[in-house]
A = this chain, B = another copy of it.
Amino acid sequence: MLKKEKTAINYKDLLKENGFKNTPTRLAILEIFSMTDKPITAHFIYKKLKGEINEATVYRTLSSFEISGILKKVDLRRDSIYFELNNDHHHHIVCTKCGLIEDFKESKEIEKLLSQIVEKSIKFKNIKEHSLELFGYCKVCNQ
């Protein structure tokens, strides 16, 4: 198992705020997310912490972090589900050939147009989130 270590950012409080116990496993997982600027999979985290953590624990942790809102699920049309820190709202452009990911921020205009769609909806009232991902070839793969 992992040993307790000090972390730069205060993840202890983040865990506490969300009703989680402050364990080395959870700190280590949050560390990896903070060091990685693109969405990652459970398996990626498992490999990074291999020997120090059980894969089932990774899945369980990611799942509870997602429910509490610390993490966000991202579907990149690949084999498995990706997660990223849920601290700034953005979307992705994904190369379906090599897997390259580029982030983009949603403009105020798009946000406004989406909320208009919800207002016009007959059956829906409470829209919490949305996915918006672009798929295609990056400049390298497009050659």
Residues of A within 8 A of B (CB): 73, 75, 77, 93, 95-96, 100, 102, 104, 107, 109-110, 113-114, 117-118, 120-139, 142
Contact = CB atoms under 8 A, between A and B. Distances in A.
B136 A126 contact: yes
Contact of A123 (B107, B125, B138): B138
Nearest to A97: B126
Contacts of A96: 128
A123 to B, nearest CB: 5
B127 A134 contact: yes
A37 to B, nearest CB: 14
B135 A132 contact: no
Contacts of A110: 110, 113-114
- Most chain-B CB neighbours within 10 Å: which of A120, A122, A130? A130
A129 B136 contact: yes
Contact of A109 (B102, B113, B137): B113
